[in-house]
Structure 1
Amino acid sequence: MTFFADTRFSNRRRALAAEMAGRRIDSMLVTHLTHVRYLSGFSGSNGALVLSKDLSARIATDGRYTTQIAEEVPDIDCLNARNVAVELLKEITGPCRVGFEAAHVTMVQFDALNGACGDDVTLVPVTGLIEEIRLTKDQLELERLTGVAELASTALQQVLDAGELAVGRTERQVAADLEYRMRMLGAERVSFDTIVASGPNSAKPHHGAGDRVIEPGDLVTVDFGAHDRGFNSDCTRTYIMGHTTEFTEEIYSLVHRAQAAGVEAATPGTPLREVDAACRDIIAEAGYGEYFVHSTGHGIGLDVHEPPMASATGSGELREGMTLTIEPGVYIPGRGGVRIEDTLIITAGAPKVITRLPKDLRVI
């Protein structure tokens, strides 16, 4: 297993080196911790990596992680340093061009990096290079994503089976039960703050979980995710408490149809704008277009939100091996809202849905 993991990381570094060559970059300084982990396997909170065009690499972390980095990154020589990026740059001799992750470096940090370079070392801002490589997941990534999605889905099913989502309980209590169950099933942590949005709060896409007591007739939206071994899950279900109304049945049915259309549209070669339109057009034609206030979906992996992005202004198209959420919603201020979300793996045919929880209207 260690050999397989090492090969996987070195293959990613090889892909990055090939992209560097096209931009005339001699070495690449990687400081974004997600990318350090993607390219090396190191999961500590302080680290940086330099990759040269000849595929040689050097990683740095401080003494807190001496044992951890030896276990996680046995194939790259490690520099023990606190100010990891600066110390790695001090080792580079020119003349050469060194790329840095411009989207993840502040001006203060850039000044420090520039000051560490010799006169014949030029820092070159780079954006989107590693993100493009990350777009298509390898088999192990897909297995990890499937596993953590199943873990989270099992946790919500346990909450439902135990009657922990119920009238008379607070949003915060339900969220705590769900997070506890994800932890007990093996999650390292939650992927993001759990949303349990009831009644009028369900009209707020990112409400959170407060002290409101769930009441009969409420729509309750549960948006949750688990994090395990670097990977994240993301799923949303909406339930109706006690009894339905004409309003709750109407918007639930509408979002359900839109979400199914988005899943069906998510095939290789489909422009991301068309995936968004597959959901958005159904909602707009029903007269609720102004109440669908966010994009249709996003990729998921080491980050909860990462490319590709399915939105009205999105660019590019889907490819096999990508991930994508499909999560249309309708939110009526003061009344309530519905969101239904699945995470998909894009395959050669129909997408694989890895958040396997029922989506038919459920009254609890």
Structure 2
Amino acid sequence: MEERVTKLELETRIERLCNAITKRNPEWDNVLIINRINQYYLTGTMQDGLLIINKNGTAKFFVRRSLNRAIDESPLAESQICTIYPMESYRDAAKIVGSELGETFVETETLTIGIIERIKKYFKYSNLYPVENIIFEVRAVKSPYELYWLQEAGRLYNILLEEVVPSILREGMSELEFTAEMYSTMLKMGYHGVTRFYRYQTEMIAGQIGFGDSSLVETNFDSPGGMRGMCPAVPIIGSRDRILKKGDLVFIDIGFGMYGYHVDRTQIYMFGASPSDEVIEVHRKCIEIEKRAAQLLKPGNIPSEIYNNIMKELDSDFLKNFMGFGDRMVRFLGHGIGLHVDEPPVIANGFNSPLQENMVIALEPKKGIAGVGMVGVEDTYIVTPNGGKCITGGEKDIIIV
């Protein structure tokens, strides 16, 4: 598979976006794309610029920096539907497309007040509408190109967690040392170096890693697990002070991505000891939950119904500290994944649009155990008519190191 997306696929993505917007508002005129991940999805390059797509299906990509890279990297440089232009300010774009934008869709969660003011300085519009949900709707169904890189990332991720991590863990190392050694190995294996989230001000180089009950520490991240991190200013990566000792649970909940596309998996280890009967029982219950949810990842099924059907099967004792710890509980069982780790659809209440074939979803049932840590599983699945197809190795028991 080629590393770069093809011109035909990019043209198809633009067409699908235009069709999706037309379904919402047949009278629309233009959509402005500033978010760099969305620009990458639609152009194949990630630059500082402004992408304007017209209702007629044509696009103009105005690039502040770097124009040369945009022309070199984007297959749309050779497309009949898109032209790439240099830009110093939005004034340059307005001179080419005109100042009247009409009914306009924008990324309301990306545009700051400052950007809006600059747009208003050079453009006029009748109304502004949010386009985020429409773009995520288009991005949710993955193409063969996207599925290839997701599956390749899943294949390598499985090797990392099952073969490499056990060889790295050693008594006396800190969470930080472990993360550094694992991260170095990930890069050598093909990891693209960063785990991207759409949620505002969320940053990770990989994900959550904790020894023992560090995985129960509260964080600002919307996840069942936790981590202490390096310090209050950098509550990620891992603690310099938490040292691995015999009998520790090791919690690894990280993303692995290639060429922009992420998969997500969680693996639990016990270092220098066997897990207790309680830990084994809870972990295997989480495996059963994941398998049950995976069976329901079929086109036409409703995410909210999957969530509620699973949750109502769980007894009150198990629900205590399920999907979190203490009063810090998340209200989902899984999430869409792709160019961002946190994409729709979410297996949760409020998500009522039917699943479609080739959506990709990470399922992550987990439960905190006081004094031990977070146990449970997570794997990434492709939605198929036969249920979820796992691309990260499948539900695994706790690995004893």
* TM-score, L = length of structure 2: 0.82
Query: Pairwise mapping of residues 11-30 of structure 1 onto structure 2 (< 5 A)?
Result: 11-22=12-23, 23=25, 24-30=27-33
Specify the alignment match of 1:125 in structure 2. 129
- Structure 2 Cα separation of the partners of residues 5 and 43 of structure 1: 15
Matched, 1:150 2:155: yes
Residues 158 and 89 from structure 1, CA distance in 2 versus in 1: closer, same or farther, beyond 3 angstroms? Answer: farther
Give the aligned length: 359
Aligned equivalents of 1:92 and 1:310: distance in 2? 41
Task: From 251, 257, 260, give the equivalent of 2:288.
Answer: 257
Asked if 1:225 corresponds to 2:240, the answer is no
Secondary structure (helix, strand or coil) at the match of 2:345 reads strand
CA–CA distance in structure 2, aligned partners of residues 141 and 87 of structure 1: 34
Distance 1:96 1:166, change over 3 A: same
Residue identity in the other structure for 1:306: E
Output the CA distance in 2 between the equivalents of 1:333 and 1:202. 10
The 2-side partners of 1:277 and 1:2 are apart by 39
Instruction: Describe the shift of the 1:61–1:244 C-alpha distance in structure 2 as closer, same or farther (beyond 3 A).
Output: same
Q: CA deviation at 1:68?
A: 3.9
Amino acid at match of 1:189: G
Letter in 2 for 1:26: D
- Code of the residue aligned with 2:269 in structure 1: it is Y
Tell me the residue number matched to 1:198: 211
Output one character per residue of 1:161-196: Cα deviation in whole Å (capped at 9) or x when no partner: 5x2123332222222222111100122203233322
Distance 1:92 1:14, change over 3 A: same
Does residue 176 in structure 1 map to residue 207 in structure 2? no
**Separation of aligned partners in 1, 2:390 and 2:91:** 43
CA distance in 1, matches of 2:208, 2:276: 23
Give the counterpart of 1:352 among 363, 384, 389: 389
TM-aligned CA deviation for residue 49 of structure 1: 0.7
Amino acid at match of 1:177: E
Q: Does 1:136 align with 2:141?
A: yes
* Inter-CA distance 21–358: structure 2 relative to 1 (3 Å threshold): closer
CA deviations over 1:106-136 (Å, ceiling 9, x no partner)? 2222121112114xx4342223221111121
Q: Is the 8 A contact 1:327 1:342 kept in 2?
A: yes
| In structure 1, distance between residues paired with 2:292 and 2:101 | 54
Q: Is the 8 A contact 1:271 1:318 kept in 2?
A: yes
TM-score (norm. length: structure 1): 0.90
SS class of match (1:356)? coil
**1:333 to partner: Cα distance:** 4.3
CA distance in 1, matches of 2:177, 2:306: 36
Q: Which moved more, 1:342-351 or 1:87-96?
A: 87-96
- Following superposition, the deviation at residue 312 of structure 1 comes to 3.7
Residue correspondence of structure 1 range 77-96 to structure 2 within 5 A: 77-83=83-89, 87-93=92-98, 94=100, 96=102
> Are the counterparts in 1 of residues 334 and 362 from structure 2 also a CA contact under 8 Å?
yes
Query: Does the residue aligned with 1:47 lie in a helix, a strand or coil?
Result: strand
How far residue 337 of structure 1 moved from its aligned partner, in angstroms, is: 1.7
Report what 2:232 is aligned to: none
Q: Per-residue displacement from partner, 1:294-352 (whole Å, max 9, x unpaired)? A: 22111111111111101244332321110111101111344422131000000121221
Q: Deviations over 1:31-90 (max 9, x none)?
A: 11111111111223x12211112222110112534144333232232121244x564245
Instruction: Tell me the distance in 2 between the aligned counterparts of 1:138 and 1:95.
Output: 31
**Unmatched runs of 5 consecutive residues or more in structure 1:** none
> For the Cα contact (< 8 Å) 2:60–2:83, is it kept in 1?
yes
Higher mean alpha-carbon deviation, 316-325 vs 240-249, is at 240-249
Q: Contact conserved, 1:343 with 1:353, CA < 8 A, in 2?
A: yes
Structure 2 gap ranges (5+): 196-203, 218-224, 228-235, 324-328
Coordinate RMSD, CA, aligned? 2.4
1:271 to 295, 302, 307: 302
Alignment check: 8 A CA contact 1:174 1:196 kept: no
**Is structure 2 residue 131 aligned with structure 1 residue 100?**
no
Q: Secondary structure at the match of 2:7?
A: helix
Aligned equivalents of 1:40, 1:269: Cα separation in 2: 30
Aligned match of 2:41: 38
Alpha-carbon distance, 1:287 to partner: 3.1
Alignment identity in percent?
A: 22
Which of 86, 110, 120 matches 2:116? 110
Q: Is the Cα contact below 8 Å between 1:322 and 1:345 reproduced in 2?
A: yes
- In terms of fraction of residues, the more helix-rich structure is 1
Shift of 1:291: 3.4
Alignment correspondent of 1:343: 380
1 CA distance for matches of 2:5 and 2:377? 37
Evaluate the alpha carbon distance shift between residue 290 and residue 328 of structure 1 in structure 2; reply closer, same or farther with a 3 A threshold.
same
The question of whether the paired residues in 1 share the 8 Å contact of 2:282 and 2:376 is answered with no
Conservation of the 8 A alpha-carbon contact between 1:262 and 1:278: no
Separation in structure 1 between the aligned mates of residue 52 and residue 253 of structure 2, nearest angstrom: 38
